[in-house]
Structure 1
Amino acid sequence: MKKALLTLSALALCMAAGVATAKEYKELRFGVDPSYAPFESKAADGSLVGFDIDLGNAICAELKVKCKWVESDFDGMIPGLKANKFDGVISSMTVTPAREKAIDFSSELFSGPTAYVFKKGSGLSEDVASLKGKTVGYEQGTIQEAYAKAVLDKAGVKTQAYQNQDQVYSD
């Protein structure tokens, strides 16, 4: 799984500020990277769907505000939040010390593993030594990028950065 924890910066802000302050908002703008099904993706009609979308819509319904979804590549989430392009991020994100210095996080909503994805019958394994000479892709701005640079590159594994998860899977 690409990202292990769900960030809900807007929810944390609303909870910290209280419902009275939250009611001053007429609209909450959430940053989302719609390339990470089943958490957030696009349906055939182009609408946003998934767990994160349902959660954000439920937050907005509870606060009686309109949800506005602002699509962004994952590596643009924190810069976009800091630049006020959106009020919060709902796009599964792992809490790291560096990220905690930049933004606030809600409580952990779920935890899941990170894993390699191989073609069936490829004979590849998760053993880093077995990947030497192969190419492993990752989405920019994720914890998998940090792992690729810290572990895979040093082990002689070729790594390839992609702007979003759809590109990782399509290559």
Structure 2
Amino acid sequence: MKKLLTTLAAATMLMTGAAFAEIKLGLDVAPYPPFADQDASGKRMGFEIELGEAICKAMNETCVWTPIAWDGIIPALQSNKIDAIFASMSITPKRMEVIDFSNKYYNTPAAVVAAKDMDIDGSAESLKGKIVGVQVSTTHADYANKVFSESSEVKTYSAFDEHNNDLIAGRVDAVVGDSLAFSEFLKTEAGMKFEIKATPTDEAVFGKGVGVGVRKGDAELLKKFNDAIAKVRADGTYDEIAKKYFEFNIYGQ
């Protein structure tokens, strides 16, 4: 009888997928509102935090948020320090060479931001001789290097807030980043002096949206995330969370 129960349990695990002891979700150590932030008590909050926890619940898995410096987050995944990247990472061909991605869970365009009184349109010509700030190891940095580096200085920063602070201080002339993340900055007293000058599109650089990054070949975990993303989209959980933060369709087409 004991042998039969053991066999049945093993068969059930094969059919349903074994549960993980815990899944370490990697996120950027720097705040990235409205996607990920912390309050004064250290409690995590934001769209991605709520969505990540809802996805883990849909997977029936225990997840632990694990902050990692952005430029080391893919190496942390590859070295098993984390199990997945849940940190607004765009799905791009370059990244897909080294890690796998789930289906997208949101998609927002990039933006070029500069002072309202600066006469630029986001083109390389209009930014000739200027200093452009970007966060290191991002698609926005890839875009800036591709488009602006021959005629402008591209300056990299470890965190999104850092290039915004240098924009305010006048140490850079423009910055490139996620349009939605900029929306929070532009609402601040200091940010009100700036505006979005352009929303560049380049699918080869920016990819088709943001997904969960997992180690190459981790098919079981990848399927869990894809199934859970589909589930929270279908049962209304995704929309319930999204409407707390956005007044438009963050998922995209």
Name the TM tier (shorter chain): 0.7 to 0.9
How many angstroms does 1:125 deviate by?
2.8
- Letter in structure 1 aligned against 2:44: L
Number of aligned residue pairs: 152
Q: Distance in 2 between matches of 1:167 and 1:74?
A: 13
Q: Which segments of 5 or more consecutive residues in structure 2 lack a partner in the other structure?
A: 1-13, 167-253
**Is the 8 Å Cα contact of residues 32 and 70 (structure 1) preserved in structure 2?**
yes
Q: For 1:169, what is the secondary structure of its paired residue?
A: helix
Report deviation, 1:108: 1.7
Matched with 1:28 is 23
Larger Rg: 1 or 2?
2
Q: What value does the CA root-mean-square deviation take over the aligned residues? A: 1.9
Q: Could you tell me the TM-score, scaled by structure 2's length? A: 0.55
Q: For the residues of structure 1 that align with 2:15 and 2:135, how far apart are their CA atoms?
A: 35
Contact 1:19 1:63 in 2 (8 A): no
Q: Which runs of 5+ in 1 are unaligned?
A: 1-16
Identify the residue that residue 112 of structure 2 maps to in structure 1: 116
Taking the aligned partners of 1:64 and 1:114, their CA distance within structure 2 comes to: 34
Aligned mate of 2:48, from 52, 59, 76: 52
Q: Does 1:104 align with 2:100?
A: yes
Deviations 1:55-105 (A, max 9, x none): 111122233433211112222221110011111010111112121111110
- The residue aligned with 2:154 is 159
Kept in 2: contact 1:153–1:159 (CA 8 A): yes
Which runs of at least 4 in structure 1 moved beyond 6 Å after TM superposition? Answer: none
Once the two structures are TM-superposed, the CA of residue 136 in structure 1 deviates from its matched residue by 0.8
TM-score (ref. length: structure 1) = 0.79
Q: Does 1:78 align with 2:74?
A: yes
Percentage of identical aligned residues: 35
For 1:98, give the aligned amino acid. Answer: K
